[in-house]
Every structure is written in C-alpha cells, then in structure tokens.
Chain A
Amino acid sequence: MSGVWTIYRKELRAFLVAPLTYVLTGVFLALGGYFFWATVVISGVASLAGFFGNTTIVLIFLIPVLTMRLWADEESRGTGELLLTSPVSLGQIVVGKYLAAVTLFAGMTLLTAGYPIILYLFGEPYTGPVVAGYLGFLLLGAACVAVGMFTSTLTDNQVIAAVSGFGILLLLWLLQWAAEALGGTAGAILGGISALNHFASFNEGLIATVHAVYYVTVVAGFLFLAVRNLERRLWRSPERGAQSTILTVAVVGILVLANVFAVRAPWQLDLTPEGRFTLSGQTRQVLAALRGPVEITAFVRTGSDSPVPDLVQAYGKASRQVKARVVDPLREPSLAQKLGVQQYDTIVVQQGSRTRKIDPDSLYTTVPGEYKTEFNGEQAVTRAILELGQEQQLKVAFLTGHGEASPEEGLTQLEGDLRGEGYDTVTFNLAETGKVPADTSVVVVAGPQSDLSPDELEVMRKFVNGGGRVVLLLDPSQRSFSGWASLARELGVELGQDVVVDPVRAFIFDVLSPLPVMEDHPITSPLSERRMQVMLPRARSLARAALPATASGAAAAAAPATASGTTTGAGTASAPGESAAAVAGPPVVTSLLRTSAEAWGEPLTGERVKIEKNPGDPGGPFDLAVAVERANPAATEGEPAPVAVVVGNSAFIQDDFLGFQGNRDFFLNAINWLTGKKSLISIRPKVFAPPMITLTPNLVWYSFYGFVVALPLLLLVSGGLIWWRRRAL
C-alpha cells in the first residue's frame, strides 16, 4: 500500500509542476465554461445537463493527453528501470499512477464548482440531477483515465499513447451509433458497451448500479490490462504464460459476471425531480401479478428527449416478464406499420395476440399558464397491461330494438375504441332474448326512438337494481316515453321534455348544440385538464327526480323485489355484470355536464316554435349529463357503487360527432368509471417543470467573462508562473 502512496504522490507532484497540466485544465475550463454558459443562458434552465452532455466529448480528446506520459515517459527516460527494480509491484505502480491522474481530473472537475453555485444563487436547480451528473461525470472521467493509463503502457512514445487512447475512447463513443444502426440483441450489447449511453441516465438524475458497475468494469479492466502489459517482459516460461492466460480469463469472467449481475438485480437511486425512473407501487403490484410475458414497444424519434423510452425501460427493468423495446419508426417502418403506429411517442402493449395502443395525445397534459407538463404515461401503460391481463374481457352490451344506435349502425368508430380499451361489445334485443346477455358489465342505450315495453322495463329495472350498470343516452323527443322515464326515475333522474338552448355555452355554429360546463368528477376532470369540450348536438335537460328513490319506500314502489330482496332481485334478471351482490339504496346523482345559467329549455310539443326564451320556459342551469351511484347495503360503510350515467343526448357518440374534442373520452371515461377502472386513475402523473433561472444582462456577461475567459486564463497564468519559478532551479 505504501508503494501506491509513494507513486501516487510522486505522480501528482509531477502533474502539478508540468505546464501541460495547466494548459489542459485551462482548455477544459474554457470549453466547459462556454458550454455551461451557452446552455444555461440560451435555455434559461437552471441545469448542468447541457454542460455535462457537451463536455463529455471534450474528455475523449483531453484525457489521453493528460495520461499519455504516465508510463510512456518512464519508459523513454529510463526511470522505469528504477521503478521496476525497486520493491514495489507493477500493480502498485499502475494503481498509484492511475489514482494520481484521477485525482487531477477530479480537481479539474472541482474547478467547475462555480457553475452550480451560479445556478443556486440565481435560480432553483434540482439538486438530484446536479449530484448524479457530477457523480456520472467523475465515473466517466475515471473510465477514460483508465483507458489512457493502459495505452500509455503500450509504448515509450507519448504521442502514440495519446493517439491510441483517443482512438479507443472514440470507438467506445461511436459504438452507440453502430448499436442504433444495428438494433436487436447485437445492438443492445454494443449499446451496453458504449460509454456515452451510460452517462446519459446519470445526467438525467438517475444513479443506477448498472451504469456505475459499467464504469467500474472499464476501470478495472483497463488497469488490469495495463499491469498485464507491463508484466509481458516477465512472461518467460510457457507455464507463466499459461498462468497469466488463466488469470486474464478469470478477471474477464468476473467483470462480465458483475455486469450481468448488475443488469439482473438492478438497484437504482432516482434523483430526478419528477421520479422519472420510478414506477408507482400500483404499477409494481400489477407487474408482480403478471401471468404471461408482456411486450411493450415505444416508437420514439431517435434523439428526442421524450420521457417515453425511460418509462418503457423502467417497466422492462421492473419485471422479467416485460420485454421493453424502444424503436425509431423511421428505422423499423414495417413494425410501425404492422402495429398501426402513425405518431412518435406511441406505445404499444402486447400480450399474446392481444394488443393495446396508447396514443401520444393521452400521455401529456400541459398545465396552462405554467411551464409544466404532466406525463401520464405510467397510468396509461399500467392500465393497458392490467386490461390485457384480465382473463375475461368486460362486456359492453348495446340494447337494440327501439331504433337505438348500435355498433352495426352509427357507432362503428366507438366500437373500435371500446375494443381498444379492452372491452368486448355485443348487441341484444330484449324482445328476442328477454334478458340481458350473461356477464354484461354495462348496458348502453344509445338514443331509442321508441318506448320501452313494460316487460322490458321490468328486465332493465331488475338489471340495474341487481348491480348492473347502464349508460342511458336519451335524445330530446317530441314524444314522451314513459318506460324510459320510469327507468330514469328509478335512477333518480327526471327527464326533461325539452331541448336545451344555451346562448352562452354552445357550439359556435349551432345554438342548439351546447358545450356544457364540466363539473368536477373522475369522468370529466381528465377532459377539463386538457381543455377539451364535449358537444351535445340537441340535448334534453335532466333533473333530479323528486325524491322517488328516497329510502326503501320509493324503491319498493318502483321495484317490489329490490328493497329487501337483494338476492331474489338478481334471480330473475340475467346475471348482472361482474357483481352478483345486488345494489340498493337511494341513488346519488352527481352532475357531470351543466349548462350555463342563461340556458332555457324549449318545450317540445310537436309544433314548430321560434327559438326564444318564453316566460314559461324552465330556466337554467340544467344538468345535461349525470352520474348515478348507490350506496352498497352489503357493506355498510362501503363506497357508493357506480350505477349509471345518464346523458340527455346520444348523437355525441355517433360516428359524425365522436371525433369532436372530448366526446370520445367523455364516453370512454364514463364506461371506465362504471366498470371500476377508475381505480388506476390515481397514479400520479409525472410533472416536468424545468427549473428556471433568470440572469440579468450584466450577470450574463459577468458569467461569460468569469467562466470562459478569466478562470481559464488564471490557470494558464499559474502554469506560467510555476514554470517561471522553476526555470531558475
């Protein structure tokens, strides 16, 4: 050990008196200072990522020049003969020299401390990425120094040592390109060997053992090679040669194993402000429960700073069942085409033959007025995995027979979307079957043109009271449908016999197409966050039913079997949805969409009237869509269970209007809410809010002169002074 220390101090002293050291440090600081200044001032972001990202390239030129003398100089001066005939081992010599060069590099890095200081003084940088960035930078530098140490032992010519060190480092860098071009397993391995790749995640704020182990491997490997190379002159006998071959194989094996182990049992410390590399507990539960392999493919433009690849890779790391791939659709157009991908940042989740596609629109939410983006990728991907994994798909049944729109007619697009969300769709006609199809989760009634017969009403009533869920979409009609009205009343909703006119909140071209206000509810809030409107072309008003469903009396009047007979109620109705337990209790009605206060209801009497507010017309605001829940009597304190969503319009989900802003999502959210998929909505989106820094024009120039001119000059001057003073010795 004392040998290492002796060599280390001698080497460090040699660095400190060499003018070359000061020149190199000056160049390093000038370039680094410029990169820092340019990225921070131009982007106004208080982060060192730009500085680190650009300066890494400088290292591959700079470090070989720094390390070239380490052994080549000893060899050419003949001082190697002193070292090799002194009681120190080759290992001690190599390690001592290496540590001295690393210390010098760390010192050079320390001289950049002014950059974060400026950031902290005038902005609010995230500490995590700064710390991880410096750590990664030091590790990267340490790896480069090891390469330089090795090439210095190859020759007694310093120029050759520097050039070959530069060559190896450049190769390690360029491998990344080859890896990208190659793709596949070979590409993955090459990418794993590439030095740059591993730095990127440090620079984002992730400290991961995989990457740290990579750098440690490079250091250990090249130092080992350096010692081996110096030992060459001692390999006199074949048996020594054989021994050293065995040793080399053993060391290479250990290093490879260490990396494999690090990949297999990853440990990481996520210092990114938004926790970009950390999956929520819910996701990890979902992944732990995976029963079959899942393939997640992200289609991302090469070089974009999208969080999608990191997210997808995080899934890949979190579970061995998940195979994560990041693909540039330009490089693999056939795959993109096969999976129907048309936009960057699309994620496709596959399990077996089943596929879910997540469009980029659903990944991001911009928070208006603030420099923030919310990223909902984890929510989307986890939900997709969960849905794919469900053994039985949830069934959405469309009622027909009353002139309703159905997947065959008018709802073809919607059917595709439902299937995309993981639902199975069927249609049924009560007149034919007399019951709701088995295992139906939700019955959709999309704009009936005729009334429900009393028998059908009875079936539907039993269905909803027995735990079934419905979506009632009832357009304004001149006729009044007593069957539908009593079904609605059963759900606590009174149908208005009118068409709503909202002079304030309506589609610009049509006063009869309200763009209602969104009330706060899991169904609507994702829309209002994204500022998306729902348009209801011709809507009827909805009101709360005048307490018909309060307690048991009203419920009993409406449906004799429901109030107490929780089990028998379900008996005659077909098996209602996923829950066999009947749901009772008073319906709780919550507004989803409301008109403005200026709206009124134009009565529909059959004769043509002028659209204007008459004194007798009911005044707004009206509900246009409501959500209905009922307390679950089985669990006394249980959450109320969703029962129905009632909307005074059905046209909004038909093919003509489905594409309008939030129409599709409103309906899909409603279905998801009814079927309980809303639980996954609770995964917190990752918020990207770049840390800002504002520098006054004066500061901008002071920092330029300070970092790009003064500090490097100071180094050059001190190097010159040292040379001047020693000149006379």
Chain B
Amino acid sequence: MIQLEHVSKQYAGRTAVEDLTFTVEEGEVVGFLGPNGAGKTTTMRMITGYMPPSDGRIRVAGFDPIEDPFEVKRRIGYLPENPPLYGDMTVSGYLYFVAELKRVSRDRRRAEVARAIERTGLTEVSGRLVGHLSRGFRQRVGLAQALIGDPPVLIFDEPTVGLDPQQIVEIRQLIKNLAGEHTVLLSSHILPEVQAICQRVIIINKGRLVAQDRPEALAERLHAGAEFRLRVRMPRGAGAAGQATAEAAGEATGEAAAGVTGEATGEATGEATAEEAAGVARLLRQVNGVRDVVPEGAAGAFRLILDPGLAVEQSEEVRERVFYELARARYPIIELSPARVSLEDVFVQLVTEEQAGGEGA
C-alpha cells in the first residue's frame, strides 16, 4: 500500500532522510521508530504529499503523491505532529469542515462526524471551541480528523502524545481495530505502545533505515536464547532445610524459625527472603555456562543470563544443569521461560550499534 524506494530529503542541503526503502502492506499496522530528529515526521510528510522527496520514489496505493496528489490525498487520513486545529471552530464544526474538505458526500457527513466523535471519545466536548480544549482533547480531535471519511491509509505522527493512560489504552485498541481494513503507519517514542499495537516495526536513525521486523523477532534476533526468566519456590519448604548447603542452611535456620513463629514483621521476612535469593543466585552462578543471575523484585524471581554465543543445544544443556542444581538444593522450579526482551533495549542497542558503526566507518 505504501512503498518507498531510495527516498531522500534534504532541507537546504542538510540531509533529513537518506536512501529510505520500505513497504507497508495493505492492512498492516506498522510502527515507525527513531530518536528525535531521525526523520520520521519528514518521511510522513513526504508520504502524504505535503512536501516532495528530493530523490527517490514514493507510491501510495500505486500513486505518486506529487504527480497524482488528488488520488493519494483522497486515500489518506493524516494526523500531523501538531494537530492541525482551528481554535475558533467548535469540535463538531471543525470535523464537519474536514468532512467537506475530504469530499465526504453531503448525506454521509453528519454520520461520519458523529462516528469520529464517538470513536475518539469527544462526545462531551463536541460543542466546545477547539481552542478552549485541553492538550489531550486536542490530540483526540486531531485523531478524529484523520479518521473522517474512513480513508484506507492512516498516517499517525505520535498519536498518543498528551493522552491520559485510560485514553491511551482506548486509542491503542482503536488502532488495533483499524488493522485489517486499514493500512496504518504510526510513529512513536513509546516502545511498549509500538510493541502492543504494531505487527511490524521500522526503526530509523539519522534518516537511515536501521531495522524492520516483527517486534518479537527483533528482540529474538538480538538476544536469541540468551536470557531467561526463572522462578523458584521460596522460601524453601521447611522439611528440606537440612539438606541445604552448609552456608545456606546456617543462614536460613533463624529465618525459618522466624518464618514459623509468624510473619508479623514484613521487613524481617523480606530481608530473610533477599538473603535466601542471594544464596540461590550464588548457587546458580557456579553452574557451568551461566554468566550471571540477577534476583528480581518478586520473591523467587530471577533473570538468568547465559554465556553469550551459545548454540541452541548448549543453551538447553545449561538449562538442564540449572534444573538439577536447583532440584538438589530443593528449590523447585516454577517457571523457566525465555525473557521477553523489551524493545527499548533493542532500540537503544540498535541505535548505539549504528552510531558506533557509523563513527567507525
């Protein structure tokens, strides 16, 4: 639906986008990521025909935004970085104007406006002046504006900026629902959001494409099998105390007593648990192939980090050894799963790698 081939853009000689090539298929929801000044807004402006690329070719539904502006503009709903609002209009008046502008046929205009108002939760402010609305509401009016006329291609430049958490959830749901029938390209800085909504992520930095893939795949690719979430039963069952390692047991006795006598002081319990967790971590660090073990918040939760560069079978062997070790120490494993690496990490890593590479070159 959207194709970019070797697209570049210079502002008065300064390059904002360089040799960008990607495709967004029909019905896809694609996230567009990049640090400030990466060229996201510039790219979107070129797709919508607001400005022409300096070089390269753009196709939206097969049309060039500059050569066939009407064909492209008819098919696009666009929420620019700054919502394009007229402060002196009422919300419904503004949306009605947009409906006219988007050439929604006269008999459908009212229904279109009502639908957009309802979908973006603007019902209670529909009669107010746009200029008198709060930041978040204005953002919603901007979104509603993009939805008018139900265009097949939607381009959102940071759609959830300024929204309250409740609204963010609703808008994300809305965008998810748009998938399938609409092609959506949205830019964002909020990575969980992209992770939550998008089927695919395109990451750019300094105007260049850095990576594009499904969010999970990106994470996998980076940390394939190297990190796991581990949860064990803690504190260790009372009957098993004697079989603990000497040092661990010694430390644990008093605690167990305290645990039996009562959990009146949560802090004491917490301290005891933390020490026990540290013990487990020490235990596992001795396992061959384990690089590090980091206890995490909840009792019995750890991050298990294996040596980098292990093959899949090697990784499985290491996990096997961990299982026996814990079983031996009578800490039953409740959960052992590959960690979902946050996109933030991926992002930062990709961008820093890119930078390092760029500087090296």
List residues 3-40 of chain A with CB under 8 A from any CB of chain B. 3, 6, 10, 13-14, 17-18
A81 at the interface (CB under 8 A from B): yes
Bound-complex Cα distance A18 to B88 (A)? 8
Of A83-91, A111-119, A126-134, which binds chain B?
Answer: A83-91
Knowing A236-B54, A729-B132 touch, does A85 contact B86 (C-beta < 8 A)?
A: no
A42 at the interface (CB under 8 A from B): no
Q: List B contacts of A608 (CB < 8 A).
A: none
Bound-complex Cα distance A38 to B85 (A)? 46
Q: List B contacts of A3 (CB < 8 A).
A: 101
Knowing A14-B88, A77-B85, A82-B101 touch, does A236 contact B80 (C-beta < 8 A)?
A: no
What residue in chain A is nearest B93 (Cβ atoms)? A13
Residue from A81, A87, A88, A729 in contact with B50 in the complex, judged by beta carbons closer than 8 Å: A81
B76 at the interface (CB under 8 A from A): yes
Residue pair B90, A729 in contact (C-beta under 8 Å) = yes
Q: Mark B35-53, 1 if CB is under 8 A from A, else 0.
A: 0000000000100111111
Q: List A contacts of B87 (CB < 8 A).
A: 77
B73 at the interface (CB under 8 A from A): yes
B103 at the interface (CB under 8 A from A): yes
Measured between C-beta atoms, what is the minimum distance from B263 to chain A in Å? 59
Measured between C-beta atoms, what is the minimum distance from A236 to chain B in Å? 4
Q: List B contacts of A85 (CB < 8 A).
A: 48-50, 73, 76, 78, 80
Residue pair B127, A77 in contact (C-beta under 8 Å) = no
Residue pair A236, B66 in contact (C-beta under 8 Å) = yes
Knowing A85-B78, A87-B103, A234-B66 touch, does A79 contact B86 (C-beta < 8 A)?
A: yes
What residue in chain B is nearest A726 (Cβ atoms)? B129
Measured between C-beta atoms, what is the minimum distance from A238 to chain B in Å? 12
Bound-complex Cα distance A17 to B85 (A)? 16
B139 at the interface (CB under 8 A from A): no
The prevalent SS among residues of B at the interface is loop
A340 at the interface (CB under 8 A from B): no
Residue pair A87, B73 in contact (C-beta under 8 Å) = yes
Knowing A85-B49, A87-B73, A87-B74 touch, does A2 contact B84 (C-beta < 8 A)?
A: no
What residue in chain B is nearest A80 (Cβ atoms)? B84
Q: List B contacts of A18 (CB < 8 A).
A: 88
Bound-complex Cα distance A3 to B97 (A)? 11
Residue from B74, B84, B100 in contact with A81 in the complex, judged by beta carbons closer than 8 Å: B84
Residue from B45, B76, B97, B127 in contact with A729 in the complex, judged by beta carbons closer than 8 Å: B127
B145 at the interface (CB under 8 A from A): yes
Bound-complex Cα distance A205 to B80 (A)? 53
Q: List B contacts of A234 (CB < 8 A).
A: 51-52, 66
B288 at the interface (CB under 8 A from A): no
Q: Mark B122-145, 1 if CB is under 8 A from A, else 0.
A: 000001110010000000000001
A333 at the interface (CB under 8 A from B): no
Residue pair A86, B101 in contact (C-beta under 8 Å) = yes
Q: List B contacts of A83 (CB < 8 A).
A: 84, 101
Residue pair B98, A729 in contact (C-beta under 8 Å) = no
Residue pair A729, B101 in contact (C-beta under 8 Å) = no
Measured between C-beta atoms, what is the minimum distance from B102 to chain A in Å? 6
Measured between C-beta atoms, what is the minimum distance from A186 to chain B in Å? 39
Residue pair B52, A17 in contact (C-beta under 8 Å) = no
A293 at the interface (CB under 8 A from B): no
Bound-complex Cα distance A726 to B89 (A)? 10
Residue from A17, A82, A88 in contact with B84 in the complex, judged by beta carbons closer than 8 Å: A82
Q: List A contacts of B74 (CB < 8 A).
A: 87
Measured between C-beta atoms, what is the minimum distance from A147 to chain B in Å? 25
Residue pair B88, A6 in contact (C-beta under 8 Å) = no
List residues 48-104 of chain B with CB under 8 A from any CB of chain A. 48-54, 66, 69-70, 73-74, 76, 78, 80, 82-90, 97-98, 100-103
Q: List A contacts of B89 (CB < 8 A).
A: 13
A253 at the interface (CB under 8 A from B): no
Residue pair B98, A82 in contact (C-beta under 8 Å) = yes
Bound-complex Cα distance A87 to B149 (A)? 12
Residue pair A6, B97 in contact (C-beta under 8 Å) = yes
Knowing A82-B98, A236-B54 touch, does A87 contact B70 (C-beta < 8 A)?
A: yes
Residue pair A729, B49 in contact (C-beta under 8 Å) = no
Q: List A contacts of B129 (CB < 8 A).
A: 726, 729
Residue pair B100, A6 in contact (C-beta under 8 Å) = yes
A403 at the interface (CB under 8 A from B): no
What residue in chain A is nearest B102 (Cβ atoms)? A86
Measured between C-beta atoms, what is the minimum distance from B15 to chain A in Å? 15
Q: List A contacts of B48 (CB < 8 A).
A: 85
A434 at the interface (CB under 8 A from B): no
3 closest Cβ contacts across the A-B interface?
A82-B84, A78-B82, A236-B52
Interface positions of B (Cβ within 8 A of A): 45, 48-54, 66, 69-70, 73-74, 76, 78, 80, 82-90, 97-98, 100-103, 127-129, 132, 145
Interface positions of A (Cβ within 8 A of B): 2-3, 6, 10, 13-14, 17-18, 77-89, 233-234, 236, 726, 729
The 9 listed contacts between A and B (C-beta, < 8 Å) are A78-B80, A82-B101, A84-B50, A86-B73, A86-B98, A87-B69, A234-B52, A729-B128, A729-B132
* Besides the known contacts A84-B49, A236-B54, A729-B90, 4 further A-B residue pairs in the complex with CB atoms under 8 A apart: A77-B84, A81-B45, A82-B101, A85-B80
